[in-house]
Amino acid sequence: MPKPEPVDPPGVPARRAALRLLDAVLRQGLPLEAAIGRATAGIERSDDRALAHAIAAEVLRRLPDLDALIDSATKTRLPDDAKARFALRIALVQALSLGTPPHAAISTVLPLVDGGPRKLVHGVFGTLMRGGDQLPEQPTLPDPVAIRWHAAWGDDGIEAAERAMAAPPPLDLTLADPATTDAMAETLGGVSLLPGHVRLPSAHVPELPGFEEGSWWVQDIAASLPARLLGKGPGSVLDLCAAPGGKTMQLASAGWSVTAIDSSESRLARLHENLERTHLTATVITADLLLWSPPAPVDAVLLDAPCSATGIFRRHPDVLHRVRPSQITELAALQAKLLARAADWVRPGGTLVFATCSLEPAEGEAQLTKFLAARPDYSIVPVAQDELPAGIVPTPGGWVRTLPGMIDPGGNDGFFIARLRRQG
Protein backbone atom coordinates (compact mmCIF):
# COMPACT_ATOMS: atom_id res chain seq x y z
CA MET A 1 0.00 0.00 0.00
CA PRO A 2 1.56 3.34 -1.04
CA LYS A 3 2.52 5.77 1.69
CA PRO A 4 0.41 8.94 1.85
CA GLU A 5 2.06 12.13 0.69
CA PRO A 6 3.56 14.08 3.62
CA VAL A 7 1.54 17.11 4.66
CA ASP A 8 3.40 20.35 5.27
CA PRO A 9 3.13 21.86 8.75
CA PRO A 10 1.16 25.13 9.03
CA GLY A 11 2.97 28.05 7.45
CA VAL A 12 5.15 25.94 5.20
CA PRO A 13 2.91 25.87 2.08
CA ALA A 14 3.13 29.67 1.75
CA ARG A 15 6.92 29.53 1.99
CA ARG A 16 7.05 26.66 -0.49
CA ALA A 17 4.95 28.75 -2.88
CA ALA A 18 7.33 31.68 -2.37
CA LEU A 19 10.20 29.36 -3.31
CA ARG A 20 8.38 28.36 -6.50
CA LEU A 21 7.77 32.03 -7.32
CA LEU A 22 11.43 32.92 -6.88
CA ASP A 23 12.47 29.97 -9.01
CA ALA A 24 10.05 31.08 -11.75
CA VAL A 25 11.50 34.60 -11.79
CA LEU A 26 15.20 33.99 -11.19
CA ARG A 27 15.72 30.75 -13.09
CA GLN A 28 12.92 30.74 -15.66
CA GLY A 29 12.71 34.49 -16.31
CA LEU A 30 8.93 34.67 -15.81
CA PRO A 31 7.15 37.78 -14.52
CA LEU A 32 6.13 37.43 -10.89
CA GLU A 33 2.47 38.11 -11.64
CA ALA A 34 2.43 35.51 -14.41
CA ALA A 35 3.82 32.83 -12.09
CA ILE A 36 1.60 33.44 -9.08
CA GLY A 37 -1.29 31.22 -10.21
CA ARG A 38 0.73 28.06 -10.71
CA ALA A 39 3.01 28.69 -7.74
CA THR A 40 0.11 29.02 -5.29
CA ALA A 41 -2.08 26.28 -6.80
CA GLY A 42 -3.57 24.18 -4.02
CA ILE A 43 -3.31 26.92 -1.40
CA GLU A 44 -6.89 27.66 -0.37
CA ARG A 45 -6.45 30.61 1.97
CA SER A 46 -6.14 33.97 0.24
CA ASP A 47 -3.95 35.33 3.02
CA ASP A 48 -1.48 32.48 2.50
CA ARG A 49 -1.37 33.24 -1.23
CA ALA A 50 -0.82 36.91 -0.42
CA LEU A 51 1.96 35.99 2.03
CA ALA A 52 3.75 33.92 -0.62
CA HIS A 53 3.63 36.87 -3.01
CA ALA A 54 4.78 39.32 -0.33
CA ILE A 55 7.75 37.14 0.63
CA ALA A 56 8.84 36.61 -2.98
CA ALA A 57 8.46 40.28 -3.87
CA GLU A 58 10.46 41.40 -0.84
CA VAL A 59 13.22 38.89 -1.60
CA LEU A 60 13.44 40.31 -5.13
CA ARG A 61 13.49 43.85 -3.76
CA ARG A 62 16.29 42.97 -1.32
CA LEU A 63 18.15 40.27 -3.25
CA PRO A 64 21.67 41.80 -3.48
CA ASP A 65 21.63 42.65 0.22
CA LEU A 66 20.30 39.25 1.27
CA ASP A 67 22.97 37.50 -0.78
CA ALA A 68 25.67 39.72 0.73
CA LEU A 69 24.57 38.64 4.22
CA ILE A 70 24.50 34.96 3.24
CA ASP A 71 27.96 35.16 1.67
CA SER A 72 29.36 36.84 4.77
CA ALA A 73 28.41 33.81 6.86
CA THR A 74 29.55 30.96 4.59
CA LYS A 75 33.12 29.77 4.05
CA THR A 76 32.31 28.54 0.55
CA ARG A 77 29.93 30.57 -1.58
CA LEU A 78 26.64 28.83 -2.19
CA PRO A 79 25.67 28.53 -5.87
CA ASP A 80 23.08 31.09 -6.98
CA ASP A 81 20.58 28.33 -7.74
CA ALA A 82 21.21 26.28 -4.58
CA LYS A 83 18.04 25.50 -2.66
CA ALA A 84 19.89 26.39 0.55
CA ARG A 85 20.45 29.94 -0.76
CA PHE A 86 16.79 30.27 -1.73
CA ALA A 87 15.68 29.01 1.69
CA LEU A 88 18.01 31.43 3.48
CA ARG A 89 16.75 34.34 1.39
CA ILE A 90 13.18 33.50 2.38
CA ALA A 91 14.01 33.07 6.08
CA LEU A 92 16.15 36.21 6.30
CA VAL A 93 13.74 38.51 4.50
CA GLN A 94 10.97 37.45 6.86
CA ALA A 95 13.03 38.05 9.99
CA LEU A 96 14.79 41.23 8.86
CA SER A 97 12.21 42.96 6.67
CA LEU A 98 8.72 41.52 7.15
CA GLY A 99 8.68 41.33 10.95
CA THR A 100 8.36 37.55 11.29
CA PRO A 101 9.78 36.20 14.58
CA PRO A 102 13.13 34.49 13.82
CA HIS A 103 12.03 31.12 15.17
CA ALA A 104 9.01 31.11 12.84
CA ALA A 105 11.06 32.37 9.89
CA ILE A 106 13.54 29.49 10.11
CA SER A 107 11.14 26.71 11.17
CA THR A 108 8.92 27.32 8.14
CA VAL A 109 11.78 27.15 5.62
CA LEU A 110 13.71 24.13 6.91
CA PRO A 111 11.15 21.74 5.36
CA LEU A 112 12.02 23.32 1.99
CA VAL A 113 15.48 21.73 2.15
CA ASP A 114 14.46 18.24 3.30
CA GLY A 115 17.07 15.88 2.00
CA GLY A 116 19.47 18.81 1.72
CA PRO A 117 21.76 20.90 3.92
CA ARG A 118 19.31 21.72 6.72
CA LYS A 119 22.17 22.12 9.23
CA LEU A 120 23.87 24.62 6.93
CA VAL A 121 20.70 26.70 6.53
CA HIS A 122 19.98 26.59 10.26
CA GLY A 123 23.59 27.44 11.10
CA VAL A 124 23.94 30.38 8.71
CA PHE A 125 20.60 31.83 9.82
CA GLY A 126 21.53 31.44 13.49
CA THR A 127 24.92 33.07 12.97
CA LEU A 128 23.38 36.12 11.30
CA MET A 129 20.64 36.45 13.93
CA ARG A 130 23.08 36.20 16.84
CA GLY A 131 25.38 38.72 15.17
CA GLY A 132 22.59 41.27 14.91
CA ASP A 133 23.06 41.63 11.16
CA GLN A 134 20.54 43.91 9.44
CA LEU A 135 19.56 44.83 5.91
CA PRO A 136 20.46 48.37 4.80
CA GLU A 137 17.74 50.99 5.10
CA GLN A 138 17.63 51.36 1.32
CA PRO A 139 17.79 48.27 -0.93
CA THR A 140 20.73 47.95 -3.31
CA LEU A 141 20.11 47.70 -7.04
CA PRO A 142 21.48 44.62 -8.82
CA ASP A 143 24.84 45.43 -10.42
CA PRO A 144 23.74 45.10 -14.09
CA VAL A 145 20.81 47.48 -13.49
CA ALA A 146 22.91 49.92 -11.48
CA ILE A 147 25.52 50.08 -14.25
CA ARG A 148 22.88 50.78 -16.93
CA TRP A 149 20.99 53.35 -14.92
CA HIS A 150 24.13 55.08 -13.68
CA ALA A 151 25.21 55.60 -17.28
CA ALA A 152 21.80 57.07 -18.09
CA TRP A 153 20.82 58.94 -14.92
CA GLY A 154 23.96 59.32 -12.80
CA ASP A 155 24.45 59.06 -9.03
CA ASP A 156 21.23 60.92 -8.27
CA GLY A 157 19.24 58.48 -10.39
CA ILE A 158 20.64 55.47 -8.56
CA GLU A 159 20.03 57.07 -5.17
CA ALA A 160 16.44 57.94 -6.10
CA ALA A 161 15.75 54.43 -7.41
CA GLU A 162 17.07 52.78 -4.27
CA ARG A 163 15.14 55.20 -2.08
CA ALA A 164 11.99 54.41 -4.06
CA MET A 165 12.35 50.71 -3.27
CA ALA A 166 12.59 51.35 0.46
CA ALA A 167 8.98 52.45 1.00
CA PRO A 168 5.66 51.00 -0.18
CA PRO A 169 4.36 53.03 -3.14
CA PRO A 170 1.19 55.06 -2.53
CA LEU A 171 -2.14 54.36 -4.17
CA ASP A 172 -2.90 56.75 -7.03
CA LEU A 173 -6.45 57.04 -8.32
CA THR A 174 -7.64 58.63 -11.56
CA LEU A 175 -11.13 60.09 -11.28
CA ALA A 176 -13.77 59.68 -13.96
CA ASP A 177 -14.90 63.26 -13.36
CA PRO A 178 -12.11 65.77 -12.58
CA ALA A 179 -14.73 68.21 -11.26
CA THR A 180 -15.07 65.96 -8.20
CA THR A 181 -11.37 66.14 -7.30
CA ASP A 182 -11.65 68.19 -4.12
CA ALA A 183 -14.68 66.29 -2.87
CA MET A 184 -13.15 62.86 -3.58
CA ALA A 185 -9.85 63.83 -1.95
CA GLU A 186 -11.75 64.81 1.20
CA THR A 187 -13.95 61.70 1.12
CA LEU A 188 -11.00 59.37 0.60
CA GLY A 189 -8.67 61.20 2.96
CA GLY A 190 -6.08 61.78 0.26
CA VAL A 191 -4.32 64.58 -1.60
CA SER A 192 -4.45 65.60 -5.24
CA LEU A 193 -1.44 66.20 -7.49
CA LEU A 194 -3.50 67.21 -10.54
CA PRO A 195 -7.19 67.69 -11.35
CA GLY A 196 -8.75 64.24 -11.68
CA HIS A 197 -6.20 62.60 -9.37
CA VAL A 198 -6.16 61.53 -5.71
CA ARG A 199 -3.21 59.97 -3.85
CA LEU A 200 -3.71 57.77 -0.78
CA PRO A 201 -1.56 55.53 1.36
CA SER A 202 -1.85 51.86 0.41
CA ALA A 203 -5.43 50.65 0.96
CA HIS A 204 -7.80 47.77 0.19
CA VAL A 205 -9.18 49.07 -3.08
CA PRO A 206 -12.67 47.45 -3.24
CA GLU A 207 -13.56 48.88 0.19
CA LEU A 208 -12.83 52.51 -0.74
CA PRO A 209 -15.73 54.92 -1.35
CA GLY A 210 -16.53 55.25 -5.03
CA PHE A 211 -15.20 51.85 -6.14
CA GLU A 212 -18.58 50.18 -6.72
CA GLU A 213 -19.91 53.33 -8.38
CA GLY A 214 -16.96 53.43 -10.80
CA SER A 215 -15.92 56.90 -9.72
CA TRP A 216 -12.20 56.12 -10.17
CA TRP A 217 -9.62 53.52 -11.07
CA VAL A 218 -6.11 52.75 -9.84
CA GLN A 219 -3.39 54.34 -11.98
CA ASP A 220 0.03 55.71 -11.04
CA ILE A 221 0.28 59.45 -11.61
CA ALA A 222 3.04 58.96 -14.21
CA ALA A 223 0.96 56.36 -16.06
CA SER A 224 -1.89 58.86 -16.30
CA LEU A 225 0.18 61.47 -18.13
CA PRO A 226 0.17 60.03 -21.71
CA ALA A 227 -3.63 60.21 -21.99
CA ARG A 228 -3.72 63.57 -20.21
CA LEU A 229 -1.47 65.01 -22.92
CA LEU A 230 -4.16 64.36 -25.53
CA GLY A 231 -6.53 66.66 -23.66
CA LYS A 232 -10.28 66.54 -24.11
CA GLY A 233 -12.31 65.19 -27.02
CA PRO A 234 -14.37 65.02 -29.08
CA GLY A 235 -12.48 63.16 -31.72
CA SER A 236 -11.50 59.65 -32.72
CA VAL A 237 -8.57 58.03 -30.91
CA LEU A 238 -6.85 54.66 -31.04
CA ASP A 239 -5.55 53.36 -27.72
CA LEU A 240 -2.93 50.82 -28.78
CA CYS A 241 -1.75 48.09 -26.36
CA ALA A 242 -4.71 49.24 -24.30
CA ALA A 243 -5.20 46.57 -21.61
CA PRO A 244 -5.92 46.65 -18.73
CA GLY A 245 -7.64 49.90 -19.65
CA GLY A 246 -6.55 52.84 -17.51
CA LYS A 247 -5.79 55.01 -20.52
CA THR A 248 -8.90 53.84 -22.36
CA MET A 249 -11.04 54.98 -19.42
CA GLN A 250 -9.19 58.30 -19.24
CA LEU A 251 -9.83 59.00 -22.91
CA ALA A 252 -13.47 57.89 -22.78
CA SER A 253 -14.15 60.03 -19.71
CA ALA A 254 -12.53 63.01 -21.53
CA GLY A 255 -15.04 62.76 -24.35
CA TRP A 256 -13.05 60.87 -26.99
CA SER A 257 -14.50 58.17 -29.22
CA VAL A 258 -12.08 55.39 -28.27
CA THR A 259 -11.07 52.24 -30.08
CA ALA A 260 -8.94 50.11 -27.76
CA ILE A 261 -6.74 47.40 -29.28
CA ASP A 262 -4.69 44.73 -27.55
CA SER A 263 -3.48 41.26 -28.49
CA SER A 264 -4.25 39.67 -25.10
CA GLU A 265 -7.81 38.41 -24.65
CA SER A 266 -7.29 37.78 -20.94
CA ARG A 267 -6.05 41.33 -20.33
CA LEU A 268 -8.87 42.72 -22.44
CA ALA A 269 -11.32 40.87 -20.19
CA ARG A 270 -10.11 43.13 -17.38
CA LEU A 271 -10.60 46.15 -19.64
CA HIS A 272 -14.22 45.12 -20.26
CA GLU A 273 -14.74 44.72 -16.50
CA ASN A 274 -13.26 48.15 -15.86
CA LEU A 275 -15.44 49.79 -18.51
CA GLU A 276 -18.53 48.15 -17.05
CA ARG A 277 -17.68 49.28 -13.52
CA THR A 278 -17.00 52.86 -14.59
CA HIS A 279 -19.98 53.07 -16.99
CA LEU A 280 -17.68 54.20 -19.81
CA THR A 281 -17.77 53.03 -23.42
CA ALA A 282 -15.15 52.10 -25.98
CA THR A 283 -14.87 49.83 -28.99
CA VAL A 284 -12.58 46.97 -27.97
CA ILE A 285 -10.68 44.88 -30.52
CA THR A 286 -8.42 41.88 -30.02
CA ALA A 287 -5.69 42.10 -32.66
CA ASP A 288 -1.99 41.95 -33.41
CA LEU A 289 -0.98 45.52 -34.22
CA LEU A 290 1.66 44.32 -36.68
CA LEU A 291 -1.18 42.84 -38.75
CA TRP A 292 -4.18 45.06 -37.94
CA SER A 293 -4.96 48.44 -39.49
CA PRO A 294 -7.83 50.88 -38.91
CA PRO A 295 -10.33 51.47 -41.71
CA ALA A 296 -9.46 55.19 -41.84
CA PRO A 297 -7.03 57.66 -40.26
CA VAL A 298 -7.99 58.99 -36.83
CA ASP A 299 -7.58 62.26 -34.94
CA ALA A 300 -5.19 60.82 -32.38
CA VAL A 301 -3.23 57.70 -31.50
CA LEU A 302 -1.90 56.76 -28.07
CA LEU A 303 0.80 54.08 -28.25
CA ASP A 304 1.83 52.89 -24.80
CA ALA A 305 4.20 50.37 -26.31
CA PRO A 306 5.33 46.99 -24.96
CA CYS A 307 8.59 47.55 -23.12
CA SER A 308 10.90 46.24 -20.41
CA ALA A 309 8.63 47.79 -17.74
CA THR A 310 11.71 48.75 -15.73
CA GLY A 311 9.94 51.99 -14.82
CA ILE A 312 7.48 50.13 -12.58
CA PHE A 313 10.14 48.33 -10.51
CA ARG A 314 8.70 49.71 -7.27
CA ARG A 315 5.62 47.52 -7.62
CA HIS A 316 7.20 44.81 -9.76
CA PRO A 317 10.75 44.21 -8.47
CA ASP A 318 11.06 41.08 -10.62
CA VAL A 319 11.93 43.32 -13.60
CA LEU A 320 15.23 44.16 -11.90
CA HIS A 321 16.33 40.53 -12.18
CA ARG A 322 14.72 39.05 -15.27
CA VAL A 323 15.10 41.82 -17.89
CA ARG A 324 18.33 41.45 -19.88
CA PRO A 325 19.98 43.91 -22.32
CA SER A 326 19.13 41.56 -25.19
CA GLN A 327 15.43 41.79 -24.28
CA ILE A 328 15.62 45.58 -24.17
CA THR A 329 17.11 45.54 -27.67
CA GLU A 330 14.37 43.22 -28.94
CA LEU A 331 11.62 45.30 -27.35
CA ALA A 332 13.07 48.51 -28.79
CA ALA A 333 12.94 46.93 -32.25
CA LEU A 334 9.28 45.99 -31.72
CA GLN A 335 8.48 49.52 -30.51
CA ALA A 336 10.03 50.98 -33.65
CA LYS A 337 7.82 48.78 -35.83
CA LEU A 338 4.68 49.67 -33.89
CA LEU A 339 5.54 53.36 -33.90
CA ALA A 340 6.06 53.33 -37.66
CA ARG A 341 2.66 51.69 -38.21
CA ALA A 342 0.87 53.92 -35.72
CA ALA A 343 2.25 57.04 -37.39
CA ASP A 344 0.48 56.11 -40.62
CA TRP A 345 -2.88 55.90 -38.83
CA VAL A 346 -2.95 59.57 -37.73
CA ARG A 347 -4.69 62.03 -40.02
CA PRO A 348 -2.74 65.10 -41.15
CA GLY A 349 -2.86 67.62 -38.32
CA GLY A 350 -3.57 64.86 -35.80
CA THR A 351 -1.65 63.88 -32.68
CA LEU A 352 0.45 60.85 -31.77
CA VAL A 353 1.51 60.18 -28.17
CA PHE A 354 4.26 57.60 -27.70
CA ALA A 355 4.98 56.26 -24.22
CA THR A 356 6.86 53.48 -22.47
CA CYS A 357 6.98 52.62 -18.76
CA SER A 358 10.74 52.15 -19.02
CA LEU A 359 13.87 53.73 -17.55
CA GLU A 360 15.94 52.56 -20.50
CA PRO A 361 16.89 55.34 -22.97
CA ALA A 362 16.81 52.79 -25.81
CA GLU A 363 13.04 52.56 -25.23
CA GLY A 364 12.53 56.30 -25.00
CA GLU A 365 14.93 59.06 -26.02
CA ALA A 366 16.77 56.95 -28.61
CA GLN A 367 13.48 55.68 -30.02
CA LEU A 368 12.18 59.22 -30.48
CA THR A 369 15.39 60.39 -32.18
CA LYS A 370 15.22 57.57 -34.72
CA PHE A 371 11.52 58.15 -35.38
CA LEU A 372 11.88 61.88 -36.04
CA ALA A 373 14.81 61.23 -38.39
CA ALA A 374 12.69 58.76 -40.37
CA ARG A 375 9.45 60.79 -40.32
CA PRO A 376 9.93 64.44 -41.27
CA ASP A 377 6.13 64.77 -41.39
CA TYR A 378 6.11 64.63 -37.57
CA SER A 379 7.27 67.20 -35.04
CA ILE A 380 7.23 67.44 -31.26
CA VAL A 381 4.41 69.30 -29.56
CA PRO A 382 6.19 70.55 -26.43
CA VAL A 383 4.62 69.65 -23.11
CA ALA A 384 3.92 72.63 -20.84
CA GLN A 385 4.64 72.65 -17.12
CA ASP A 386 0.98 73.24 -16.26
CA GLU A 387 0.14 69.88 -17.85
CA LEU A 388 2.31 68.05 -15.31
CA PRO A 389 2.33 67.58 -11.54
CA ALA A 390 4.79 69.54 -9.42
CA GLY A 391 8.20 67.88 -9.48
CA ILE A 392 7.98 66.59 -13.05
CA VAL A 393 9.45 69.09 -15.49
CA PRO A 394 9.36 68.90 -19.31
CA THR A 395 12.75 68.27 -20.90
CA PRO A 396 14.37 71.03 -23.01
CA GLY A 397 13.36 68.98 -26.05
CA GLY A 398 9.70 69.18 -25.09
CA TRP A 399 9.05 65.57 -24.11
CA VAL A 400 8.58 64.07 -20.63
CA ARG A 401 10.97 61.82 -18.73
CA THR A 402 9.78 60.78 -15.27
CA LEU A 403 12.43 59.37 -12.95
CA PRO A 404 11.94 57.81 -9.50
CA GLY A 405 11.47 60.32 -6.73
CA MET A 406 10.53 63.32 -8.85
CA ILE A 407 7.27 63.59 -6.90
CA ASP A 408 7.88 63.92 -3.18
CA PRO A 409 6.49 62.46 -1.04
CA GLY A 410 5.34 59.15 -2.48
CA GLY A 411 7.35 58.98 -5.67
CA ASN A 412 6.24 57.96 -9.15
CA ASP A 413 6.87 55.36 -11.82
CA GLY A 414 9.44 55.84 -14.56
CA PHE A 415 8.02 56.82 -17.97
CA PHE A 416 9.05 58.28 -21.29
CA ILE A 417 6.34 60.28 -23.09
CA ALA A 418 6.48 62.26 -26.33
CA ARG A 419 3.61 64.16 -27.97
CA LEU A 420 3.90 64.55 -31.72
CA ARG A 421 1.86 66.19 -34.47
CA ARG A 422 1.59 65.06 -38.05
CA GLN A 423 1.97 67.92 -40.47
CA GLY A 424 -1.25 68.91 -42.23
**Which residues are annotated as catalytic?**
357
Measuring CA to CA, which residue among 201, 56, 159 is closest to residue 404? 159
Please check whether residue 162 is in contact with residue 138, taking contact to mean a CB–CB distance below 8 angstroms. yes
Please check whether residue 148 is in contact with residue 308, taking contact to mean a CB–CB distance below 8 angstroms. no
Please check whether residue 152 is in contact with residue 114, taking contact to mean a CB–CB distance below 8 angstroms. no
Quote the crossing angle between the two packed helices 12-26 and 83-96, to the nearest 10°: 120
Please check whether residue 416 is in contact with residue 399, taking contact to mean a CB–CB distance below 8 angstroms. yes
Long-range contacts of 56-59 (CB under 8 A, 24+ apart): 56/18, 56/21, 56/22, 56/25, 56/32, 57/32, 57/317, 57/318, 58/93, 58/97, 58/98, 59/18, 59/22, 59/89, 59/90, 59/93
Assign 345 to helix, strand or coil. Answer: coil
d(CA 264, CA 324) in angstroms, rounded, equals: 23
